[in-house]
Amino acid sequence: MNLSWSTRLMSNAVPPLSESEQLRCAVEQKLVGTIAAEPTRATRADLYLALSQVAREQLAERWVRTQNADRNNKARRIYYLSMEFLIGRAMNNALSAIGLRDQTTALFTPPGPSLEEVMECEPDAALGNGGLGRLAACFLDSMATVGLPSWGYGVRYEYGMFAQSILNGQQVEKPEAWLQDRSPWEFPRANKHHTVRFGGTCEHHGEWAEWHAADSVEAKAFDYVIPGHGTDRVSTLRLWKAAAPSEIDLGAFNTGDYQRAAEFKNRFENISWVLYPNDSTSAGRELRLRQEYFFVSASLQDILERHQAEHGTFSNLAEHVAIHLNDTHPAISVAELMRLLVDDHAMPWAAAWDQCRRIFSYTNHTLMPEALETWKVTLIQRVLPRHILIIYRINQEFLDEVVRLYPGDIDLMRRVSLIDDGGGHDKDKRVRMANLCIVGSHRVNGVSQLHSDLMVQTIFADFARLYPERFHNKTNGVTPRRWLAQANPALSTLLDDKLGGKDWRLDLDRLQELRASADDAAFRTAFAAAKRGNKLRLANYVARELAVNLDPDSLFDVQVKRIHEYKRQLLNVLHVITRYNALLDGSARDYAPRSVIFAGKAASSYHMAKQVIRLIHDVAAVVNNDPRTRDLLRVVFIPNYGVSIAELIMPAANLSEQISTAGTEASGTGNMKLSLNGALTIGTEDGANIEIRDNVGAENIFIFGNNTAQVNAIRQAGHQPLALYHGDPALKEALDRIDTGFFSPGERSRYHDIFNCLLHYGDHYLLLADYADYVATQGRVDALYLNSDEWQRKAIINVAGMGPFSADRTIRDYANDTWHIDTN
Ligand code: 26W
């Protein structure tokens, strides 16, 4: 049984093959035996598939061992429930985890394709919108790496995040059928499925109820391997696909009514078809609620089944199970676990509630009011009739507790209630999902110190008063494997050299030792050379894809993230226009040549965000084609931002734009990736920028603008955008050029709405209040860039300070304070 691919090959080979010959052999065997391709004629896609089969086989062996060990040890499991996992490509990470990366690189030599070229055949698994989804993917990597018996649970969307292309400067969305050619990384589990029910009525029997559902759908499990690094542990990401119940399918086919059969099938299977491509606004649509319940119910049934098989009782559930809610999207878990325990497994309500509160923990990822999920009571009643009763009962008991603590405080009760009473109109009553999460969890956290502080001071202030011990901070982190070791081989090799080995990948605090090297001229030169190589790689991509030439010696100024008003890409554009104007009127002094690089997707229904993308293209067209400025300023928008494009951009950045209005960006994780790759940050006192400053030193980061207290004060006093506009000629000129169609001569009114938003509708995100300091700070950036030694020094110190932003540190903090489990 214990025949690994290599030993099997060895047994046929006399004399024994070298390791690299074994690998070649293994790939060739897969090419012929699995892909059915003749090795000398194999395409890149064939090679990708064959190589993935080799890696998959090794991972599968480790996986079986890990899962067996966890089962035998009756290990406490950590379950991470998330509607989104933005995984990206799997190959590079898989090869690195099993230690085959270097050998594989050596295998792919000219005239054939390089390993990089082969790996580019893999489509991104883009099952997420942005920060929240990517965080979940980094956490899976870290949980496996630090040795947690961990599982991710989510939805196997047939269509992930849309692919973005640009037509005449405007975003066009195309469906992304990432599974069209099947994924070699997924393991369909034919025997793993659960029935998820919807609608119907309930019959009460005291504490419990019988739910006579109207519809049901099958949830089928598809597993993805999550390899740990520096360990044999392989964890599981289990994603659920919706399938029509077979009897319905067959029934209709048998009567010859194919159309009806297809309709039925679609009605059920559409649940897992597409990811909602909206970040930061709550969808409010029935299909979204069905998606949420679908994956929650299947996951909890799965978790209980595993526990039952290992323990034969649920009385010790909380000792062996921790379930983490990634934002409120899986909030219905609280009601579903109560239903499963009370109705299906006959546990008394009070005992079930006690388990529940010890099992769940919840992370909030945004303070934006429009993202706070609520669902109409009438909708939940119709789709999940049993759950609405459970929610009402939880609420009743919770409010009884509140009354005991604060007798007579009716207003408090109204504020913390799980139900927003909609001014007394039944049809306007809504369930507040965040409140359900807080009441049903023993821990609640924000994702940076500032965000966690604001959370308990603002949106959850009442709850923090009721349950102060429940609220914690867990500052986000990123996996150094994907975001440094794999994305930036040039810098990684340098670090291996300097730090005497590869352990920094597992102990990122070792980067501290680099600080001393900031003063070493030879190291600075090598560091700068690595960066330049990465910039060249990006410049080649941009030249190929966009036909724009970027000077690799210019300052690569990068803002890459979802397009959103609060992130203020528009403030960046205002600076670009200001700089262009200054270059033209001769007032520019000591400008370093710059390439301003944007990337990011706009939600399909988000007009303002789409306008910003268009404006960036219009500005780029003018600036890049003006012979008077083009050597000093270029602007590009790189389409279809996602994990793989990020892996290309992050290592090439000099300057990281983190310029959200203070108090709006919960944490940011791109800020960490960029700094880790040696970019200096220009940023506001927002999210994790503050902690980055604390770790790299205020003299090594460009912090500007109003802080949260000042933002509040400005808003309190009444922000005066018009006064700022009239008082600052450079600002006025930049805004006027937008408004009068300088960048859109064919349609002069194109950007009226942008102008109006800033000048006449209040400039909600205070771009004008931060503009002057931003532009001045950009001037300091130029001055430093022109002093290359100083710039490199500070960049090195940034890398050296990034230890705490490893997701391994974040996960260890969760393990200690939230999940109560040991790590290795
Ligand atoms: C219901 C629609 C919806 C979808 C996603 C609403 C809200 C979201 C997320 C909360 C948006 C998000 O991705 N938030 C980001 O989470 C990151 C990881 O914690 C943080 O680093 C970012 O600052 C935060 O914007």
Residue 800 in any domain: the answer is no
Residues spanned by the domain of 130 = 74-89+124-476+812-819
Same domain, 741 and 609: yes
What lies within 8 Å, CB to CB, of 541 at 6+ separation is 638, 648
pLDDT confidence bin for 8, thresholds 50/70/90: very low
Please tell me the least confidently modeled range out of 10-24, 461-475, 527-541: 10-24
Are 166 and 58 in a shared domain?
no
Is the pLDDT score of 802 beyond 50?
yes
Residue in the structure block whose two tokens are 């070298």: 18
Does residue 703 contact residue 511 with C-beta atoms inside 8 Å? no
Give the containing element (helix H, strand E) for 145.
Answer: helix 131-145
Active-site residue, 324 included: no
Same-domain check for residues 262 and 393: yes
Ligand 1 pocket, residues with Cβ under 6 angstroms:
129-132, 135, 278-283, 327, 365-366, 371, 373, 447, 476, 665-669, 687
pLDDT band at residue 4 under the 50/70/90 scheme: very low
Give the pair of three-digit tokens for residue 396: 């009743």
Q: Are residues 85 and 44 in the same domain?
A: no
Whether residues 40 and 164 fall in one domain: no
Q: Which residue has the higher pLDDT, 255 or 769?
A: 769
pLDDT bracket for residue 766 (50, 70, 90): very high
Residue 245 has a pLDDT of 80
Predicted local distance difference test score (pLDDT) of residue 758: 98
Above 60 in pLDDT, residue 13?
no
Is the pLDDT reported for residue 103 higher than 50?
yes
281: pLDDT strictly greater than 80:
no
Residue 12 has pLDDT above 60, yes or no: no
Mind giving me the DSSP string for 171-202? Answer: EEEE---TTTT--TTEEEEEEEEEEEEES-EE
- How many domains, the chain? 3
**What is the mean predicted confidence (pLDDT) over 89-110?**
96
pLDDT reported for residue 282: 80
Q: What percent of the chain has pLDDT over 70?
A: 97
Does residue 621 sit in helix, strand or coil? helix
With a cut of 80, say whether residue 546 has pLDDT above it.
Answer: yes
| 377/352 same-domain check | yes
Residue written as token pair 């509160």? 357
Residue 234 phi/psi, 5-degree rounding, is -125, 120
- Active-site annotation holds for 562: yes
Mean pLDDT to the nearest integer, 77-89: 98
- Ligand 1 centre to CA of 326 (Å) is 10
Q: Are 94 and 151 members of one domain?
A: no
Pairing mode, if any, of strands 594-599 and 555-560? parallel
Strand positions, DSSP E, 451-541: 471-473
**Is residue 544, in this structure, part of any structural domain at all?**
no
Alpha helix segments (H runs only) across 567-606: 569-585
390 falls within a domain: yes
* Atom 12 of ligand 1, residue of closest alpha carbon: 132
Structural domain includes residue 519: no
- Going from the Cα of 671 to the center of ligand 1, the distance in angstroms, rounded, reads 15
Phi/psi region, residue 821 (left: phi>0; alpha: psi -120 to 50; beta: rest), is: beta
Q: What pLDDT score does 16 carry?
A: 73
Do 108 and 27 fall into the same domain?
yes
**Mapping DSSP to helix (H, G, I), strand (E, B) and coil, where does residue 384 land?**
coil
pLDDT of the residue at 761? 97
| Tens-place pLDDT, residues 549-590 | 999 999 999 999 999 999 999 999 999 999 999 999 999 889
Q: Which of 194, 365, 482, 617 is catalytic?
A: 365
- The question of whether 823 is a catalytic residue gets the answer no
113 and 253 together in one domain:
no
Tell me how many degrees the CA angle 4-30-104 measures, rounded to the nearest 5.
75
CB-CB contact of 797 with 52 (8 Å): no
411 band by pLDDT with thresholds 50, 70 and 90: very high
Average pLDDT over every residue of 473-500: 98
List the helix and strand counts (H, then E) for the chain. 34, 24
Same domain, 381 and 458: yes
CA of residue 362 relative to chain centroid, distance = 16
Report residue 375's pLDDT band, with 50, 70 and 90 as the boundaries.
Answer: very high
Candidate from 86, 366, 373 with most ligand 1 atoms within 8 A of CB, to mutate: 366
Q: Is 365 designated active site?
A: yes
Host H or E run for residue 443: strand 443-446
Please report whether residue 522 resides in a domain.
no
Closest CA to 202 of 192, 212, 188: 212
Burial 771-797, CB ≥16 within 10 A → b, else e? bbebbebbeebbebbeeeeebbbbbbb
Residue 251 binned pLDDT confidence (cut-offs 50, 70, 90):
low
78: which 2 tokens? 């950590």
Q: Looking at the CA of residue 371, tell me the nearest atom of ligand 1.
A: 6
How far away, in angstroms, is 668 Cα from ligand 1 center? 9
Separation between Cα atoms, residue 748 and residue 150, nearest integer Å:
56
pLDDT greater than 50 at residue 403: yes
Whether 107 has a pLDDT exceeding 70, the answer reads yes
pLDDT(527) > 90: yes
For residue 700, tell me if it sits in a domain. yes
pLDDT for res 5 = 38
In a domain, 497, yes or no: no
Residues 770 and 669 in one domain: yes
Regarding whether 137 and 107 lie in a shared domain, the answer is no
Q: Does residue 492 lie in a domain region?
A: no
Specify whether 531 is catalytic.
no
Query: For the residues 286-315, what does the mean pLDDT come to?
Result: 98
Residue 3's pLDDT band (boundaries 50, 70, 90)?
very low
Residue 340 DSSP code: I
What CATH number did the domain enclosing 214 receive? 3.40.50.2000
For residue range 439-450, list pLDDT tens digits in order. Answer: 999 999 999 999
Q: What tokens appear for 66 in the block?
A: 């890990």
Average per-residue pLDDT for the chain: 95
